[in-house]
Chain A
């Protein structure tokens, strides 16, 4: 593998982005989408080629491209590490990005910011590729923050909407809270490992496994635990884990294509990817792994529950994304990194599909997003309907579809795990399966079945144009089929030498794998499938058979409903304590500190003091000769005393 191949992959989207962004006006709309799509298509095809080289030919690339800085004996470089993990991420990112690019042609056709939107999409693709292809922490951090920037730009794409510009700032700041931890983690890596290069750091991990460091008072902390938890705080921001999840639902203010690309399929999975990449570090700290596990389990269950009470079509899917990210995090926590990445892989397809299908519905209904005002759309939007069904079934883990394999692998892994927190996590992910099926089919039934409740604006809704339906179909295919790779990716030697798992943590081996058929048969007899089925039936009962029931239940359990409606109070807490608190503190420091204390007392106080002395001095200058004579005598006497004594 030559570095120019890899450079072409990252630079092609960047080039398209610059052309569409800077010269959009000159080249026009048509050429803006042509150059960006061409750039991403090149990146996709070359990524496929790279995947082939890595998987079939066993190729491996780890080298620097240029020196970023030199400080004494330390060199920080920009470079690429290409192994199966980065190759599979590259294919996922560029494929979903390509689909979203094509989809955008129709979705954004009436928007004034058409060229700008394509530019951002390609810029995102570039940043995400830099992130997954990095061979060092510096470049990882660059990609990490760069995708955050593009996410900021895209959430606030419709910058006239107050909710959009509130949401994008919130997203950036919450992510910055995560990055705060992440940066400290990187600083800790540099201090103790003496390098930011992945391979150098990973090679040293075994030697530093028992190192204790001192942070507060005399207490000793395990270095690995500190480093891993700091890094994971970064992942909590980017991958929206509780309590840093608050930005993701609000990010739905952005146009739907980016919800699919950034806030479902790729960027939000960066944290999952990062932890998998850092498995040689995380494996040395069972404390950090337990922390990861519990955070993931809480997110998987409690964010799923919120999906039950949302009425905005995109927000339901957003909470579903949060919950699924929780599943991936749970997988990381029990050291089933391969299962986590595999779920990331399948989720990217079916979740992007669900979002894009939601976009198709939204367009058909003239930008209506409230599912209470939908219903009965099956007959009007056949392609959207069938692809949505595939996506929904994949999401709930219907046997044979991709989500079934990846989710079952995670549940089996949690089942086999014995680390602290695994018991709780198993409960959480089990109940989560029921909840997922319930909210997913609630959404599906409310949108496509039952009586039409929408305002047709005079003419019935019609299926979206090809540039929207073709990506739906192309995403539906892997949503069905991707799961069949489980034997190779999760239980095979796909990630050998890439992901490190300690023998005593190897839950995937404990769970065992007896071929595809065995996995399916086992799955059919295990609890999760029946929980999912129960969820589907419940939602059928509630939303098709007895549609008056949900309102009654809501009344009966209004307390719980209130809690869910308020999203457990995270938003109001953050608004009051963090946002309001810092603004208040700022005003206090500005007024009391700068204006009153420093300027008022010290600066102007000095001026007043000088004034006072001057005025006192004026009193002394009375003009009476005897006053001066007295002062002279006093002065001479003082001087004399001083001399004599000295």
Chain B
């Protein structure tokens, strides 16, 4: 029996959910809570590594496919499968969840079993989002994964958590309604909910534009794109560290993934017609949000705005391909654009997780996110400072770190679309460095600012392990991105073929 014979994706989806349910049933003081949580997350992570091992990067066809009928009356299926876009995101999900479980180890004292259960159940649903090939199945996971996240923020969050949760809910709900409408409309057109059928169905430009706008609203909220981004800083500020990690590392990626899976291949002509809109919003995200980040004094808000600016590169990369098609025929500009967007998503998953984890390390000790409450942390926490400076540099896109790879690829590609796109995108080199280094300077350098800082203890072994692992990954992708990229080549080529052909 080989790997592909096992229902790998189902295992990946349901194993963490099952583990989560066990945790929910355990009494709150049970000593095995951490073990169950860790084992489940670890096992899921190992399973996802097997997914890499069994993945065939030569084909763009869906792999590890599972297809069963679910609701026969409406032709809804339990239809799973992955390609070069979803596989890396699934591994990112299992890794991030493992990180969250370890991050919670001694930190979460209140109802730890519920906390871990929420994240494990969410993990299964997020993997479901990335592997669903049936639109309704996708939609169910897409919506359901938010419930544990709302609970995490609403229960373990900061003082203003209810406002943040409601804002988050309203925003995403607004987007979801449009998504559901679009999916139902596509079912009327195709008679099926299978996403591959949506890819193949011919649509008029008018139909495509309406569908595209619906997709754009739904996924722009998730990414988030300007001007529907203001929920993210609030949600991050109130969320506990684990919530912030998942929010930054995975939830935002679902937006980018949605554009890749739905908007671009289903409505290629509308994407081309309206690419100026997305490009404009992306550049606003890079420049405008960069300046906004410069004005933040709350560490989490600053990183949240930085995330929005970095996600601007994802949407920019995805939507400059049409201009590149028009300008050049060198065959690599558009590949750089799409793969750059993908790398940016993966890389941001690790870097933002590391940044939020670092804020968590400080917050656990001083219970403040205010940049002005710190100063001179390096005197007391030299090892932690080394990590923080490293991740700050990665966030500022230093070559040799993963943060550079995606931005570099997208800027190279953007130049082929239009000089000014590249010009505006490249300002991140200055603005991104300015806000990140300003925070580092203010928090870590200088004389010890107050007694609380003087009492700080450097990272313990658990924190060291997490930060060191993240640093190693960020470094590895930065020094040698080729293996990560080669997983996507076939899927990217296929997507580009879909985009180059008109559906009209």
Contact = CB atoms under 8 A, between A and B. Distances in A.
A149 B398 contact: yes
A123 to B, nearest CB: 11
Contacts of B328: 191
B49 interface: no
Contacts of A109: none
Interface in A186-242: 186-188, 190-191, 194, 215
A146 B415 contact: no
Interface residues of B, number: 60
B422 A184 contact: yes
Contacts of B399: 141-142, 144-146
B445 interface: yes
B372 to A, nearest CB: 15
Interface in B415-448: 415-416, 419, 422-423, 426-427, 429-431, 433-434, 437-438, 441, 444-447
Given A165-B441, A603-B167, A589 B291 contact: yes
A57 to B, nearest CB: 32
A190 B422 CA distance: 13
Given A142-B399, A165-B446, A172 B437 contact: yes
A177 B489 CA distance: 33
B393 interface: yes
A590 B335 contact: no
B227 A69 contact: no
Contact of A586 (B291, B422, B485): B291
Contact of A73 (B330, B393, B434): B330
Nearest to B171: A603
B446 A160 contact: yes
A599 B411 CA distance: 31
Interface of A is mostly: helix
A187 B288 CA distance: 23
Contacts of A146: 398-400
Interface string A529-554: 00000000000000000000000000
Interface stretch (B89-97, B293-301, B344-352): B293-301
Interface string B274-311: 00000000000000100111111000000000000000
Nearest to A214: B419
Contact of A159 (B378, B429, B438): B378
B20 interface: no
B302 to A, nearest CB: 11
A619 interface: no
A153 B328 CA distance: 41
A74 interface: yes
Contacts of B412: 186-187, 190-191
B475 to A, nearest CB: 12
Interface in B475-490: 480-482, 485-486, 489
Interface string B323-355: 000001011111110010000000000000000
A216 to B, nearest CB: 8
Contacts of A194: 330
A251 to B, nearest CB: 15
B433 A71 contact: no
Interface in A149-197: 149, 152-153, 156, 159-160, 162, 165-166, 169, 172-173, 176-177, 179-180, 183-184, 186-188, 190-191, 194
A190 B419 CA distance: 13
A583 B230 contact: no
B409 interface: yes
A71 B339 contact: yes
Nearest to A140: B399
A71 B335 contact: yes
Contacts of B447: 160
B198 to A, nearest CB: 26
Given A165-B441, A587-B295, A176 B419 contact: no
Contacts of B481: 68-69
A582 interface: yes
B498 interface: no
Interface residues of A, number: 53
Interface string B381-393: 0000000010001
Contacts of B393: 149
Given A165-B441, A215-B419, A602-B227, A590 B295 contact: yes
A586 B294 contact: yes
Contacts of B378: 159
A70 interface: yes
Nearest to B419: A215
A187 B430 contact: no
Nearest to A175: B433
Nearest to A174: B430
A593 interface: yes
A146 B478 CA distance: 13
A70 B485 contact: yes
Nearest to A165: B445
A609 interface: no
A253 to B, nearest CB: 12
A162 B409 CA distance: 36
A184 B423 contact: yes
B255 interface: no
A74 B429 contact: no
A72, A156, A162, A173: residue with the most chain B Cβ atoms closer than 10 Å: A72
B379 interface: yes
B230 A74 contact: no
A535 to B, nearest CB: 39
A27 interface: no
B434 A582 contact: yes
B415 A583 contact: no
A2 interface: no
A162 B445 CA distance: 8
A598 interface: yes
A630 interface: no
A180 B480 contact: no
Which 10 residue pairs are nearest across A and B when measured between Cβ atoms? Answer: A586-B295, A586-B294, A187-B415, A74-B332, A72-B332, A71-B335, A142-B399, A590-B295, A159-B445, A165-B445
Interface of A: 66-74, 141-142, 144-146, 149, 152-153, 156, 159-160, 162, 165-166, 169, 172-173, 176-177, 179-180, 183-184, 186-188, 190-191, 194, 215, 582-583, 585-587, 589-591, 593-594, 598-599, 602-603
Given A169-B441, A191-B412, 16 more contacts: A69-B405, A69-B482, A70-B482, A71-B339, A141-B399, A142-B399, A159-B378, A176-B430, A180-B427, A184-B411, A583-B294, A585-B294, A586-B291, A586-B294, A589-B295, A602-B227
28 contacts: A67-B482, A68-B482, A70-B482, A72-B330, A73-B330, A73-B331, A73-B332, A74-B332, A142-B399, A145-B398, A152-B437, A153-B389, A159-B444, A160-B376, A173-B433, A173-B437, A183-B411, A187-B422, A190-B415, A191-B416, A582-B431, A585-B291, A586-B292, A586-B295, A598-B227, A598-B230, A602-B227, A603-B167
